[in-house]
Amino acid sequence: MKSSQIEQFFATLQAANPHPQTELEFSSVFELLAAVLLSAQATDVGVNKATRKLFAVANTPQKILDLGLPALEDHIKNIGLFRSKAKHLMEACRMLVDLHGGQIPADRQSLEALPGVGRKTANVVLNVAFGQPTMAVDTHLFRLGNRTGLAPGKTPLEVEMKLLKRIPARFMVDAHHWLILHGRYVCQARQPLCKACAVQQFCGYKLKV
């Protein structure tokens, strides 16, 4: 995809959705961190169903610790890998209380030091909560980067680095959301809905179908 096409690609997505938002429900930076941690290999719908009840009774690191592991597991048992996620969230909450006064740090190194928080989760928090121009490459972004020709790469990190290099700065803060939503609802994994795609004219995939 050429630079001029990338500009038009994101301008089109921006015109259709000027203020994209994550579909995870949260009302604080901690709730966002917890929701993203729980969302690995799970749907946003399933995570939201669990966190609505969880955050009603425990929505800070200290409250999660006070809740205890068995009760936390019970609240999130509808989410895949809930036992390991509960353990990671509990350990992360302990670190947040002990090392950060219960606050969520705004730097990658501190975030990635938390149990259960990898590069993708840290990127989401840095972007959504702190407005940093990061690119969290999940399965949708990895697929779109390769399928469209926007940022081909063999690994998520390679795709991430190419996206950061190729996306115009004025689109960077919102690009992550546009690509996730586009991958989720239009450029789907099994069968991309090319006929309903507003950016298909800029996409390299049509050359292969």
**Candidates 63, 120, 162, 165; catalytic one:** 120
Q: Report the residue count for the chain.
A: 209
Distance CA 1, CA 3 (A): 7
Phi-psi region for residue 2, left (φ > 0), alpha (ψ -120 to 50) or beta? beta
Distance CA 194, CA 83 (A): 39
Q: Where are the alpha helices (DSSP H) in the chain?
A: 3-16, 29-38, 44-57, 61-67, 69-75, 82-100, 108-112, 119-128, 139-148, 156-166, 172-185
Query: Active-site residue 2, yes or no?
Result: no
Query: Active-site residue 120, yes or no?
Result: yes
Structure tokens at 197: 């795609």
**Candidates 138, 162, 165, 206; catalytic one:** 138
Would you call 114 helix, strand, or coil by DSSP? coil
Distance CA 156, CA 139 (A): 8
Catalytic residues: 120, 138
